[in-house]
Amino acid sequence: MKHKFLLLGATSAIAHATARLWVQRGAALVLVGRDAVKLQQALQDLQVRAGPQAHLLHAIQADLEDVSRHAALIDEAWQRLGGLDGVLIAHGTLPDQTACDADVSLALAHLHTNGVSVVSLCAHIAQRMKTAQAGTLAVISSVAGDRGRQSNYLYGAAKGLVSLYLQGLRNRLYPHGVHVLTIKPGFVDTPMTAGIGPKGALWATPERVAADIVRAMDRNTDVLYTPGFWRFIMMVVRHIPERVFKRLRL
């Protein structure tokens, strides 16, 4: 059983719900987050749940947008646990499309956070896992990356970059015993989406998504739509002809 995990963006609701499930299995974890207060709160919550296994949990405060620190960060996590069975990359932002349309620098900053910094982390982790000839790299992308829509195409472009990068990385690492999982959640009720409403039948809880992630990593799934009905929704959306799609207000 996989039991040594690194969570990047560990204070996000989905990552924390996933960490709780791994703690129930007695896993050793390294949590990485930017906000020191939230990171400590997440660590303490997990330590209480871990009980006698609390010593297996560690936290590193780091700004994941600083790609110059990624190599050293992965090295530190690797050394703390003596190797990694799995990594979950869950950090990101949900940009305001209108604000990004009006401010190019803001748009580029969100592209860096949701796209470039994720690729940087993946590249460093891939080197480590390829050398070890083992491991699972799981990355939270989004259904938004399947097709650009006027309401969130900046976010979708970053996630599309991540999804396509992971597709190639999965192809490259498969012969080396390394599994790459692309996670595509739909609407998830988290603090990041608190300003979006009302929440309807298409929305999922972080706990539901976390359970799907753990199961997909156990089964070496390649691409996870969560909840599963999003696979069919996006299949329809992807197949709408462009001449029709451009007239829709989505």
**SS3 call for 73:** helix
In terms of Cα–Cα distance, which of 157, 151, 142, 146 is closest to 226?
142
The answer to whether 224 touches 210, Cβ cutoff 8 Å, is no
CB-based burial, 196-231: b 16+ in 10 Å, e otherwise: eeeeeeebbebebbbebbbebbeeebebbbbbeebb
Is 155 known to be catalytic? yes
Q: What is the pTM of this model?
A: 0.95
Low-confidence ranges of the chain (pLDDT < 50): none
What's the distance, CA 205 to chain centroid?
Answer: 15
Give the whole-angstrom CA distance, residue 95 versus residue 74. 27
In Å, what is the CA distance from 50 to each residue of 44, 195, 203?
Answer: 10, 33, 29
pLDDT for position 2 = 62
| pLDDT digits 0-9 by tens, 206-222 | 999 999 999 999 999 99
Identify the pLDDT of residue 21: 98
Specify the pLDDT at position 49. Answer: 96
Among residues 186, 146, 188, 151, which one has the least CA distance to residue 163?
Answer: 146
DSSP 194-214: TTS----TT-B-HHHHHHHHH
Single out the catalytic residue among 153, 155, 165, 225: 155
- pLDDT of the residue at 250: 85
Q: Measure the CA–CA gap between 96 and 154, rounded to whole angstroms.
A: 9
DSSP strands (E only) in 9-167: 28-33, 57-61, 86-89, 136-140
Q: How far, in Å, are 36, 74, 92 from residue 59 at the CA level? A: 9, 13, 19
